[in-house]
Structure 1
């Protein structure tokens, strides 16, 4: 038998097997929507009443379940915060069942209905995943009235906070660049406003938020530490509705509704648009004007941010839907001063813009496809200039600074969901992205020549990946997710091709108890260079190059998931993990992008690759979480015990050291209590081990010849302070802890609902450390205390600076 005949025989046998199997099975498929808005719901559980088989809706609300032929079956449709539905059908044919779940409205019920069905953590094969209901996010205490999605994720075990007021997150020992943040399939590179104090996401416009911190499915790639997937609402198809709020520093508004030509027919299209803007610049104007009246120099300053979300969808048929979504956000800060001798101008601007065009197509009751065309753009820019006129005591002086970082992406993504049968669910697809990087830094002193600062070098590269994964359920007690992803990154003259294995297993020991384990390999082709470790927008994104290898990690996790049968809705998870990271990069000692006297060109000699060094890291930890998502009392308690160490041959004398955000203990308590339909109480308490920092051990004065002839003492010696340091990050800041409290007053009026939200941030006014400096003992630190360092000549003290004392805020929110 020749090779051609062999292939024909194998193909015939496979086709015969599929046809024979199809004759003994039936498929139930459809879409699940929210009643009253027809919003497609993500993650709705569709289970057989006996628990022998089940599935859940995908990102687009579609589900499919293939079962053996049966006289009668009972299906349970359940979702957190919604009334469950039960369907009994005669399974003698294929069914398309579209249904709507009704939301439980606390304003209409004193006690949340016990008929709600919780999703059980013991049922899912996925581990290290956290879903946060948007309804819970809106009820938690706020900082200055802003409901911040990323700040809520910081309260989860395994997710460390940055500094006080920072929205950057650090997952299982990883840096802020190692988190893949996705909004409607588009990557968001810098998800912060107000220098990191707030995230870029308006919670009123979001439908779902999901965090995966380990055991990554093969469909995700490109980052080492976590995946944060956010999905915008599709828009109300029933009626025009909206919600918004007015806070101390910003206001927001969301409008959504149907688009239809015939009012007597169901809408096939809908829209949603949201906007948010601060008015700090307007509040500051009269204050600055008053200061200028009594000053010889005149200053102007202003800061504001805004963001806009928009989404449009159209249903061509029951099998074809198109979505167009976009996000635009910008931060602008400027400060200018002018006097008789000096004129200075400084500004910082950064922003994100994304656009996604998606097409859903249902080939059959078992095969679902999505095609996405994605555009993402991130820009950051600092400009500064100063000109000083020549006087009798000083020479003319000029200074110029420009610092930019940007990424432009254009990508294509294709995903297939194949619900083969009750034992196998396949996902496969590919993604290809064209990156354009524009990192640049320019510093000029005594600038007398014109410099074309807009001529920034561009670094282009292609990143791609192809994957396949299978969720295999050999029996009701065992679930296995097997995946393989092959990623590729093209540089100027090199191709990196990396396979990534993904395995997740869940074994049920009882109807409410499961043990889980996972293994995941990840590769990351982007790097974030930072001098501060804060994850601020001043950090620069750079790509993998011929000489800078991609980051990679291996993570193993094992855990237990328990649903408490006696107390429905309460779940407990305990996980332990080991994570190894390689080829992470950092600046060499004393290196920086900013070089004095010229322009840094990142494609010529002496570029950024000569200023960085690569190393490895290891993170180990144990995480505990008890969570309750529904009921009058909801919330969670989380605790993490972890340790992270880095090793760089060219840093810290080749010895291991702790990265800044290594945190031995991290704990959080979150509680929401619905007293009655009109009053909601909430509170959060957090505790964390202090950051690892490098501080001077002592300070002394050194002297050198003074060569400045214009100085008051041109022939003498010039003294300057010198700091002496020990090992890197060998000092521990004081522990961080904070209590936030909130109370909401709801009232349902004839045509709308309104809520007054009173929040108290840092209720007991804890003076948490923001940063430390050293100086003389007679200086006073802002909000802080200090400890002394004695020298022979004087007393030098280490000062702790704190950022936020107790901050009350009041917000008015409405919904119609």
Structure 2
């Protein structure tokens, strides 16, 4: 490993130099909106050298003096070519126009830098056009559900928006919204994600070969960027669906200087159900369920060298019930009130300042805030209507969450066309809230109870620094080499980690690239879960004196082959080891505070390995992909399953997805998906053993259920087809779209969970295993208008 970083150092010192050179720099953007384009390619055809723009659209390219033909290109846009004679450092801002010709439209693919050209492997980029064109569950287009259709990614359970990437758990995904971590990315108990596609510009998924700038998780990075807002004129979009409505507005506050982007989404199932509940109840009954999201971003340009970004997100789920009624007891009239609510939500804020220090050095400084809160409360009370005397009352409240304050600085340095260097550092102050319970009770015949107990808050400090360089050693060989160093201080103990990263690409010919990667990752936070679906009761907890950090090693080897223009075939094999994974002990849960949470968990290790294939078409009227994953994922804990290896719950041997969109015309297009997967592993009893203490007890009245190995049974295979139709029409002030979708179009009865039931006959009774299916065929319709 020392040789690798010696090579990195020497390469930086001995990069190709030119007798007389100048630096060309600027920004790449959308001509109509001013939105910056990420990973756009800027290329000199004479010198056969180029670069790509960063996350803020900035690029820098050092060239010899003299005449050059420069091209700027980006997926789905018309390339722009200019000729110039370079004598001094020059600023060129490229503004590209969206492609108009139908055959050239690209909906999904690597944005700017293709898989074939990039040394990065295990990365997929997804555009919002693809997300919105695919059929949607209950009409809600969802970023995470689109990611689930890619090889190496699983959803967990039916309809859920969880992510299980290459054998990892949901806590091992670093989900970033404008550089701020999102800890619970789920709405509706996991059936939708918190990301409103109308507010999002780009999404990148990293499954392996992680660049050094990312850290803190083992399995994946989902890098989500919000739109900056249109700098030219006001635009908007609103939509109405079966369960929610959305509004998006963007435009200039000061033209070409200050822009805004605002999006809001809210469900209204609770508003529709409220009068129905009230009409069917003898008492005053109410409640229901809703969620909402608000996204906001303001961008201000001080100069061509200095820009400020302020972005924020807040979202909340609330499930509640209330029941008010009267009763008569001992010739007195009493009024009773029962209340229950379950709330959870995220709030994030990022303040970022870009500053161009030199033509080759770009700096970005970020201040972040994140707060995830879970709150459950139950209250009952009574009032004597005759005397106004308060009667019995009861209150139980449980709260948990995690709050972060952070600061980071990142640099992009372009010493010459053979090097693109990134380096930076970050600090985060974590406040973990493992759970506080408040219990209050008042009754006539018992002493009042008013107590608070649980686990105290834990403060932790996380730091990291990194450096990475994308080095073009020759026209056919390039590497991305980096180092990520991190530290985590908690309860007077400091953990540290050095994490090398390496990705390499070899061009066997113009159409075939061979790639390899290695990543070491460390994770200082843990998620404890007791349910088969992701619930807000899942607890985020830190590494402590007793609980060590998780860490992993991942190796990947693959190839990318360009079948023809717009069609690529990629294959990757991976092997990953994971240590210090957490599981609840048998019978333990997040409730029950007689002991601390550290006493309720087991630590163990895991393995995952497999192969992924992806054939994708990115141009023309028909676009989409065919993906297949063959994989294994195992776990081992000393005091679980007698210390023997067992299959992880979401170990899935075979996973297949087919995704297609076809545009018949500007007025009509369709989206189609079909997925197949091996059934989830679950634990069921295999036999019943009579209690040895009472050997003569009949079989049907007693005994012990024997389970054998953990996850010893496979549920039936999962498969589903979805289809959606989009009808567009140009109106005077914008474009109207009707979307009609069918989720689970052939109504496959996929298992949500399995259970035992007694099947009775006239002469006998036997226990049979049955399945519960959640979603049959579900039609949906939505209306949207873009202006």
The TM-score, its normalising length taken from structure 1, stands at 0.87
User: Given that residues 435 and 454 in structure 2 are in contact (C-alpha distance below 8 angstroms), is that contact kept between their aligned partners in structure 1?
Assistant: no
Distance 1:113 1:146 in 2: 24
Q: Which residue of 1 aligns with 2:582?
A: 585
User: Given that residues 432 and 465 in structure 1 are in contact (C-alpha distance below 8 angstroms), is that contact kept between their aligned partners in structure 2?
Assistant: yes
User: Given that residues 410 and 435 in structure 1 are in contact (C-alpha distance below 8 angstroms), is that contact kept between their aligned partners in structure 2?
Assistant: yes
User: Given that residues 478 and 508 in structure 1 are in contact (C-alpha distance below 8 angstroms), is that contact kept between their aligned partners in structure 2?
Assistant: yes
Deviations 1:10-44 (A, max 9, x none): xxxx9xx8999475322221101101111111111
Q: Which residue of 2 aligns with 1:712?
A: none
Pairs within 5 Å for 1:36-47: 36-47=32-43
What is the CA distance between 1:698 and its match in structure 2? 4.2
User: Given that residues 442 and 594 in structure 1 are in contact (C-alpha distance below 8 angstroms), is that contact kept between their aligned partners in structure 2?
Assistant: no
Q: Secondary structure in 2 aligned to 1:90?
A: strand
Task: Say which of 87, 94, 101 aligns to 2:89.
Answer: 94
User: Given that residues 703 and 720 in structure 1 are in contact (C-alpha distance below 8 angstroms), is that contact kept between their aligned partners in structure 2?
Assistant: no
What is the CA distance between 1:563 and its match in structure 2? 1.7
Structure 1 gap ranges (5+): 1-13, 261-265, 390-395, 601-605, 706-717, 779-789
The answer to whether 1:473 aligns with 2:455 is no
What is the CA distance between 1:142 and its match in structure 2? 0.6
Distance 1:186 1:701 in 2: 55
What is the CA distance between 1:230 and its match in structure 2? 0.4
What is the CA distance between 1:58 and its match in structure 2? 0.5
Task: Say which of 267, 271, 276 aligns to 1:282.
Answer: 271
Distance 1:453 1:239 in 2: 54
Q: Which residue of 2 aligns with 1:229?
A: 223
What is the CA distance between 1:612 and its match in structure 2? 0.6
Q: Which residue of 2 aligns with 1:63?
A: 59
Distance 2:47 2:532 in 1: 48
Distance 1:562 1:48 in 2: 24
Pairs within 5 Å for 1:514-533: 514-533=513-532
The answer to whether 1:254 aligns with 2:248 is yes
Q: Which residue of 1 aligns with 2:4?
A: none
Distance 2:487 2:394 in 1: 43
What is the CA distance between 1:751 and its match in structure 2? 1.4
Q: Which residue of 1 aligns with 2:133?
A: 139
What is the CA distance between 1:235 and its match in structure 2? 0.6
Q: Which residue of 2 aligns with 1:551?
A: 550
User: Given that residues 537 and 590 in structure 2 are in contact (C-alpha distance below 8 angstroms), is that contact kept between their aligned partners in structure 1?
Assistant: no
Distance 2:379 2:717 in 1: 40
| Higher strand fraction (1 or 2) | 2
Q: Secondary structure in 2 aligned to 1:86?
A: strand
Q: Which residue of 1 aligns with 2:782?
A: 811
Pairs within 5 Å for 1:303-342: 303-337=289-323, 340=327
Deviations 1:342-366 (A, max 9, x none): 8643221000000000000001111
User: Given that residues 260 and 296 in structure 2 are in contact (C-alpha distance below 8 angstroms), is that contact kept between their aligned partners in structure 1?
Assistant: yes
Q: Secondary structure in 1 aligned to 2:26?
A: strand
Q: Secondary structure in 2 aligned to 1:39?
A: coil
Q: Which residue of 2 aligns with 1:190?
A: 184
Deviations 1:760-804 (A, max 9, x none): 0000000111111222226xxxxxxxxxxx9x9731121200111
User: Given that residues 47 and 55 in structure 1 are in contact (C-alpha distance below 8 angstroms), is that contact kept between their aligned partners in structure 2?
Assistant: yes
Task: Say which of 746, 768, 774 aligns to 2:756.
Answer: 774
Task: Say which of 98, 122, 125 aligns to 1:103.
Answer: 98
Q: Which residue of 2 aligns with 1:797?
A: 768
Distance 1:110 1:562, change over 3 A: closer
Deviations 1:523-582 (A, max 9, x none): 0000000112433221011000001000000000000011223xx111111000000000
Q: Secondary structure in 2 aligned to 1:138?
A: helix
Q: Secondary structure in 1 aligned to 2:139?
A: coil
Distance 2:105 2:175 in 1: 35
Pairs within 5 Å for 1:446-485: 449-453=448-452, 457-485=456-484
Task: Say which of 362, 378, 381 aligns to 1:384.
Answer: 378
Q: Which residue of 1 aligns with 2:415?
A: 420
The answer to whether 1:737 aligns with 2:737 is no
What is the CA distance between 1:442 and its match in structure 2? 3.9
Q: Which residue of 2 aligns with 1:746?
A: 728
Deviations 1:573-592 (A, max 9, x none): 10000000000111112222
Distance 1:751 1:351, change over 3 A: same
Distance 1:630 1:213, change over 3 A: same
Deviations 1:627-655 (A, max 9, x none): 12332111111000000000101100101
Structure 2 gap ranges (5+): 1-9, 330-335, 384-390, 695-699
Aligned residues, how many?
A: 751
Q: Which residue of 2 aligns with 1:6?
A: none
Distance 1:719 1:449, change over 3 A: farther
Q: Secondary structure in 1 aligned to 2:270?
A: helix
Q: Which residue of 1 aligns with 2:683?
A: 694
What is the CA distance between 1:81 and its match in structure 2? 1.1
Pairs within 5 Å for 1:654-803: 654-698=643-687, 723-777=705-759, 794-803=765-774
User: Given that residues 103 and 619 in structure 2 are in contact (C-alpha distance below 8 angstroms), is that contact kept between their aligned partners in structure 1?
Assistant: no
Pairs within 5 Å for 1:111-510: 111-112=103-104, 119-260=113-254, 266-293=255-282, 299-337=285-323, 340=327, 344-385=338-379, 401-440=396-435, 442=437, 449-453=448-452, 457-510=456-509
Task: Say which of 567, 570, 588 aligns to 2:567.
Answer: 570
